[in-house]
Amino acid sequence: MLSPQPLRNGETPSPHPRISAPHFHSTLSVQKLRRFNSLILLLRLLAFCFSLSSSIFMLTNSRGSDSPSWRDFDAFRYVFAANAIVAIYSLLEVAASAWEVLKSATIFPEVLQVWFDFGHDQIFAYLLLSAGSAATALVKTLKDRDTCRSFSAFCLQSDIAIALGFLGFLFLGFTTLLSGYRVVCFVINGSRFHL
């Protein structure tokens, strides 16, 4: 049978019904939360760096008028666009994560922030994965032809851009796992952290 009182163990009723009693956090749990938030910040920063690097490598992948350009291939344009979009998203999320580390609060209400992070992390991770896969298939086709034999620098820079995009996907994937953990904690406990 449930207790008629909504209080948890150790809490005393507040004389003001609209003001809730503050939750107890030990120093150890606060340090764990700060470490967890710092890890998310680091992973988002790495995803930003690799996605930005990939888009820059793809953007500068033109050698001259006789050499092929990345603009000539749909898959390479897709890699550039996907990595540029993810770099912008990751930069905004780095700012939000830094805010969370410094202020110990989210920018949006907690329920919105948890689902926003998880949903967008997944969407953009899949975007990077599909762009990298499409470009990998194109590079394999170019290597089967004489294009990569004649213009090896073009193919090498394309390979580097694709690899950097996959690394961006990897770090964004790890971030997705951690934001998924936050969603599960929120659904179970009503808070984004398991305490």
Q: How confident is the model at residue 125 (pLDDT cuts 50, 70, 90)?
A: very high
- So where are the chain's domains? 30-55+69-189
Q: Is 158 in contact with 150 (CB distance < 8 Å)?
A: no
Using CB atoms within 10 Å of the CB of residue 57, give its burial: 0 to 12 exposed, 13 to 18 middle, 19+ buried.
buried
Comparing 65-69, 158-162, 178-182, the range with the smallest average pLDDT is: 65-69
- The contacts of residue 118 (CB under 8 Å, 6+ apart) are 176, 179, 180, 182, 183
| Phi, psi (rounded to 5 degrees) for 62 | -140, 130
Residues 94-117 have pLDDT tens digits of 999 999 889 888 888 888 999 999
Alpha carbon distance 84, 18 (integer Å) = 46
Residues 126-163 have pLDDT tens digits of 999 999 999 999 989 888 887 777 788 888 899 999 99
